[in-house]
Chain A
Amino acid sequence: MNEMRMTGFSSDPSAQEPLISVRDLHVRFTTPKGPVHAVRGVSFDLGRERLGIVGESGSGKSQTGRALLRLTAGNGSIDASKMEFDGLDLMKASEKKMRSIRGSRISMIMQDPKYSLNPVLTVGAQIAESCRRHEDISKADAKKRALAMLDTVRIREPEKVYNLYPHQVSGGMGQRIMIAMMLITNPQVMIADEPTSALDVTVQMQVLALLDDMVRERGMGLVLISHDLQLVSSFCDRVLVMYGGRIMETLDAKNLDQAQHPYTKGLLNCLPRLNGRHDDLPVLKRDPAWLTEGGDAEGGLA
């Protein structure tokens, strides 16, 4: 299996078969106040690369990430002309098949470790559980793997941390534990939904460096969902900018300053900068046409 995962791996992301391929993805919710169309025709490919999805609240970025794992809430429906992962049709896969994929071949890191860790289990037990759930290994082996994983995510004294409960660890450490839990199954794709927004800037860098290593060393595909345009562009290879459930623009991260779409430009301009100017910040003017224009629907294609 591992060999198969590594075939076609090269440093040039565009030369490979995409890990995930999405065409015309729609996510709709029925609510007491009427239908909500959260994601409107999103298409993109993910290779063994760092792909960023950036947008403000309500842009549909998180729902796009959740739809990949079919984790959309009960009142929602997913619709896509194509949603494939490694040759497997995610739209048609059975619930049982999805369970074997989630956490094992595609993992997801949530925003806040405080709410995503089980408060009554030690963190070590939770990491070992994630390993035992997907692989047939003994308890002792799972513990060994969990300790090794804690070491990989740069936690000092893994033996001691293994026996701590979630409330006894700091935010940064909690997020590293979440990452350890998600990486222990050696997934091919990691979806990280605001993995660092609850963390201090310096800790944020360390957590991102960990994810960076996983992409470089294991050939993992990473989807980083964030509201922070500056952070995403300095970390990722490619950036999708979303607004109102659509992809406004796809950019090579290093060419962010050449953004064409007025929304991306507006977002960039309204960021305060460290240059000590106190002039008024340009305010983003939203154009209703962005919500309807055919625009860059295919923009996510590499």
Chain B
Amino acid sequence: MMIDIKDLNIVFGSGHNQIHAVRDVNLEVAEGESYGLVGESGSGKSTILRAMVGINAHWTGSIRVDGQLLTPKRTVASRKHMQMVFQDPYGSLHPRRTVDDTLKEPLIIHNLDDRDDRIVRILKEVGLGPEFRFRYPHQLSGGQRQRVAIARALILEPRVILLDEPTSALDVSVQAEILNLLSALRKTHGLTYIMVSHDLAVVGHLCSKIAVMNRGVVIEEMTEEQMRTGEVAHDYTRQLWTASHGYDRTALKSFKEFA
């Protein structure tokens, strides 16, 4: 197993204001697999990614990546294997750093050489020409920025990439281009993905297995076959699946809240 998460619990705050954001989550993702996490806002899906990548150190349980047990405190070397792409390409790139600066920073941190070569090569791989190298984020479109963010994650040659709603800020035509790019990169580099999204169709397109989350709990794991047919075990999953097919007045009557 490339990723093996056991009994992951994440709690924010204390006492009266305590929020149990993730409860007893177990996940297994094989090498080269693309795994999806869906759920509505507040279901804890992004929180899991943030704990994995080390942004949030307050978690209990065990996270293994490629057999290595991760501790809340990370070493520089352990971070190299797992990189993250964030939701909002307008917010995740430094506005006063050129694309070149943005891509060079991880290389400096990890002390890698051949910096020029690596940058030119990675830009080409994400479909940006060398003319983009010395541009600032405001000179790029949303899709181009997200390509830079993907290049930044990929330049360290990681094994695992965590994708947190990578296309939700983009237009559908640009979304298609980014999804195609992500699936091509996974094939050529043998990457393992965990992708978080609120959009079942986007996750269903890229991933072969999907965990459905509600209020911090993984309630069901869906296979490709189930995504096609909608024959799922849990009512909440069925509701989410139905709602993803557009407005349907009759189906709405059966909708309920799941606590």
Asked if residues A281 and B246 are in contact (CB atoms below 8 Å), the reply is: no
Known: A200-B40, A234-B246. A282 touches B205 (CB 8 A): no
**A residues 193-210 with Cβ under 8 Å of B?**
200-206, 208-209
- The smallest beta-carbon distance between A111 and chain B, in angstroms, is 13
Known: A206-B255, A234-B246, A283-B177. A276 touches B224 (CB 8 A): yes
Closest to B171 in A: A56
Asked if residues B176 and A283 are in contact (CB atoms below 8 Å), the reply is: yes
**Interchain CA distance A203-B41 in the complex, whole Å:** 11
- The smallest beta-carbon distance between A1 and chain B, in angstroms, is 30
Contact of B201 among A200, A206, A273 (CB under 8 A): A273
Asked if residues B228 and A202 are in contact (CB atoms below 8 Å), the reply is: no
Does A44 touch B at the CB level, under 8 Å? no
Neighbouring B residues of A283 by C-beta, 8 Å: 173, 176-177, 180
Known: A171-B41, A206-B252. A274 touches B175 (CB 8 A): no
Neighbouring B residues of A266 by C-beta, 8 Å: 173
Contact of B228 among A171, A208, A227, A274 (CB under 8 A): A274
Most buried by B among A208, A272, A275, A282: A272
Does A270 touch B at the CB level, under 8 Å? yes
**Interchain CA distance A203-B40 in the complex, whole Å:** 10
Asked if residues B252 and A205 are in contact (CB atoms below 8 Å), the reply is: yes
**B residues 144-191 with Cβ under 8 Å of A?**
171-173, 175-177, 179-180, 183-184
Interface readout for A142-176 with B: 1 if CB under 8 Å, 0 if not?
00000000000000000000000000000100000
Closest to B178 in A: A281
B-side interface size class: 35 or more
Does A6 touch B at the CB level, under 8 Å? no
**B residues 207-239 with Cβ under 8 Å of A?**
208, 224-225, 227-228, 230, 239
Does A271 touch B at the CB level, under 8 Å? yes
Count of CB-CB pairs between chains A and B under 8 Å:
103
Neighbouring A residues of B206 by C-beta, 8 Å: 272, 278
- The smallest beta-carbon distance between B198 and chain A, in angstroms, is 7
Asked if residues B205 and A202 are in contact (CB atoms below 8 Å), the reply is: no
Known: A209-B252, A267-B172, A281-B176. A272 touches B204 (CB 8 A): yes
Asked if residues B228 and A271 are in contact (CB atoms below 8 Å), the reply is: no
Does B131 touch A at the CB level, under 8 Å? no
**Interchain CA distance A56-B142 in the complex, whole Å:** 12
Known: A200-B198, A209-B249. A271 touches B172 (CB 8 A): yes
Known: A234-B247, A234-B248. A272 touches B40 (CB 8 A): no
**Interchain CA distance A203-B201 in the complex, whole Å:** 17
**Interchain CA distance A202-B180 in the complex, whole Å:** 28
- The smallest beta-carbon distance between B228 and chain A, in angstroms, is 5
Neighbouring B residues of A230 by C-beta, 8 Å: 246
Known: A200-B41, A280-B183, A281-B180. A270 touches B172 (CB 8 A): yes
Query: 7 tightest A-B contacts by CB?
Result: A234-B246, A272-B205, A270-B176, A200-B40, A284-B173, A201-B243, A281-B176
Residues in chain B within 8 A of chain A (CB atoms): 40-41, 142, 171-173, 175-177, 179-180, 183-184, 198, 200-202, 204-206, 208, 224-225, 227-228, 230, 239-241, 243-249, 251-252, 255
Some 17 contacts from A to B, beta carbons below 8 A apart, are: A56-B171, A56-B172, A57-B142, A200-B198, A201-B240, A202-B239, A208-B247, A212-B249, A231-B246, A234-B246, A272-B201, A274-B204, A276-B204, A276-B224, A276-B228, A281-B180, A284-B176
Known: A234-B248, A266-B173, A272-B205. 19 other contacts (CB 8 A): A57-B142, A200-B198, A201-B240, A201-B243, A202-B40, A203-B40, A205-B243, A206-B252, A209-B249, A212-B249, A230-B246, A234-B245, A272-B204, A273-B204, A274-B230, A275-B228, A276-B228, A278-B183, A280-B183
